[in-house]
Amino acid sequence: MISALAITYNEETHIESYIKSLAFADEIIIVDSISTDKTVEIAKRFDVKIISRPFKNFSDQKNFAISQASHDWVVFFDLDEKIPAILAQEIVATVNSDAPLYAYTVKRNFHFMGKRIKYSGFQTDRAVRLFHKNHCKYNGNTVHERIETDGKIGLLKHALDHQTYKSFDNYNTKLSLYSKLQAEELFKKDVRPNLIHFLFRPWYRFMHQYFLRLGFLDGKEGFIISYVHAFSVFKRYIQLWAMYRKIE
């Protein structure tokens, strides 16, 4: 028996197709962060459980969703991830196997501006998407939260498509949110920004993603990704600097 979980905020574009792709699950639970669009309205057309809950951070919201699951096995995909039927079949077979591990990662094929990105740091992109709820939880308050488990983590054979790009403004807004959350974490740790943060960190992020992680092989899209990610690092420390000076 499998519980499919999701956290949402203004996902009216993806919510219908996402729910339909989870037909293999025995229950679907959506924890919505008080969406202002038609996300909840659309979700109510289907046999799903919807819980409205203010967003604190990703780990907190996801761990709450896990606590609501009726079944031991959980799948936790993002709404911009496309779950192919062959992957759904593999998930069901894995859960019903004789001795499954406690958690499994899935390889993600990243798409940006209409192009499959094969490099730019995404060539090794994978995330835990299937796990046993009694042996796993999300850690910390970071943007890129991770699953903690007391057992080994396996890898499913079949990949999914990660269609994170809606528009350039939307993608940039998403990175801005991540920068803000990361700045809040640094503020809690009493990290004070200096010239190294403002000058070196963004430069290093671009060089690492574009050259060391072969972003130049992705053409113009690789340059754009590397640039906007570097700029999001710069914004992280601008936002941190503003917090110390109580500037809105």
Residues 49 and 70 sit within 8 Å (Cβ to Cβ)? no
Question: Stretch 189-195: mean pLDDT, rounded?
Answer: 95
Query: What are the pLDDT digits (tens) for 200-224?
Result: 999 999 999 999 999 999 999 999 9
Query: What percentage of the chain exceeds 90 in pLDDT?
Result: 89
| Token digits of residue 106 | 């899935």
Confidence check: pLDDT of 109 > 70: yes
Query: What percentage of the chain exceeds 70 in pLDDT?
Result: 98
Residues 108 and 212 sit within 8 Å (Cβ to Cβ)? no
Confidence check: pLDDT of 164 > 90: no
Mean pLDDT computed over every residue of the chain? 95
Confidence check: pLDDT of 163 > 80: yes
User: Which secondary-structure segment (H or E) carries 111?
Assistant: strand 103-112
Question: Stretch 153-173: mean pLDDT, rounded?
Answer: 91
CA 238 to mean position of chain CA atoms = 24
| pLDDT score, position 205 | 98
- Domain 2-162 adopts which CATH fold? Spore Coat Polysaccharide Biosynthesis Protein SpsA; Chain A (3.90.550)
| pLDDT score, position 174 | 87
Query: What are the pLDDT digits (tens) for 30-70?
Result: 999 999 999 999 999 999 999 999 998 899 999 999 999 99
Question: Stretch 103-128: mean pLDDT, rounded?
Answer: 96
Query: What are the pLDDT digits (tens) for 1-30?
Result: 999 999 999 999 999 999 999 999 999 999
Q: Comparing C-alpha atoms, which of 105, 130, 100, 143 is closest to residue 233?
A: 143
| pLDDT score, position 120 | 97
Confidence of residue 166 (pLDDT cuts 50, 70, 90): confident
| pLDDT score, position 67 | 98
Confidence check: pLDDT of 142 > 70: no
| Residue 155 CB burial class (10 angstroms; 0-12, 13-18, ≥19) | exposed
Residue extents of the structural domains in the chain: 2-162, 168-244
Neighbours of 189 (CB within 10 A): 7
Alpha helices in the chain (DSSP H): 15-21, 39-43, 58-67, 85-95, 168-188, 195, 201-207, 219-244
User: Which secondary-structure segment (H or E) carries 4?
Assistant: strand 2-8
